[in-house]
Every structure is written in C-alpha cells, then in structure tokens.
Structure 1
Amino acid sequence: MTDFQINEKHLSQIPALQLLIGLGYEYLTPAEALRERKGRMSNVLLENILRTQLKEINRIRYKGSDDYLKWICGFANAQGGDRMMRYEV
C-alpha cells in the first residue's frame, strides 16, 4: 500500500494564488513583500501599495490625496483598532 500524502501547498495555496492573480491581484515574492514591509514582518499592511490603490479606487478626497492612509489609521485608532493596523510581535 502506498502512503497517501496531502500537500497543502499544491492542494490549496497554489490554486488560491492562481485565483487571486486571475482576479487582478499581483503576486509578490517573499523578498518583495518584506521590502514593502520595510524589513519588518510585523508590518501587516503594505502601506505604499495601499496608498496607491486607495488613490485609484476612491473618488472621495479627505484633506488631499495623500491623507487617505492617515484617515484610515486615525479612524482605526479612534475605534480601538490600532492592533488591527499594526501587529506587534
């Protein structure tokens, strides 16, 4: 009898990546993602990408186009969501 091995990478991770890429997401290598996190794994938001996308998809302006991220972070902090925005290890 042969051993049946389940490989999560092939069964779920790769198909999920293919689906997300098909929906328009851009795959980042681990090195690119770490660079976007400014070398800190605890930075869960890729702030430069977030800022660029918010400018592109939002038509509402809040104190100028560069203040979207400040507004979101300020709102999250006011609502007690600062842990959501920055995961501290």
Structure 2
Amino acid sequence: TKQSLNRVLRALIEDGLVESRIGTRDKRERHLYLTEAGEALERDLSTAQRDRMRAAFRQAGPEAVAGFRQVLEAMMDSDLRRHYTRLKETNG
C-alpha cells in the first residue's frame, strides 16, 4: 500500500540511504536518489546476490540454468520479450 511504501521510504531517508528531491517541473513529484551510503549498500548487496546466484547456477548445472532462463523469458510480456530478443541478437 502507499502507506507502507511511505513508511519504508521514510526509514531509508532517515538512515541516510536515500535522498528525496522535489521535481523541477512539477512540484508534486518526488525524485529519489541513492546517497553515497545507499550506493555503497546497493553495491555490497548486489555483489553478494551475484555471488550467490553464480554459485547456485554452478551447482544446478547448465540444464537447470537453461530451464530457469526459459521460465523467466516466459514471464515477459510481448513488448519486453521483443526488446529482449533484439538485445540478444545484437549482443550475440
């Protein structure tokens, strides 16, 4: 809900992880930015998550990874799937 989102956002701002700025064109807008501390936390968490995913993929093996990828692709809506397909074709 909007209330629970605002509660979490307030905590992130109070903890110095996120900064909220009022929009320049529309004063009703709030633009959210990670602070330096927020960027550091995101980097640490993302690194840990990538390491866990890499280890899980290694343990599961290539067939399981291919199956997981198929499931993720099947979850995409048609616009996202087209975009993803173009990216795959462009990047090999």
**What is the TM-score with the length of structure 1 in the denominator?**
0.29
Structure richer in helix, relative to its length: 2
Q: Considering only CA atoms, is the larger Rg found in Structure 1 or Structure 2? A: 2
Question: Normalization by structure 2: what TM-score?
Answer: 0.29
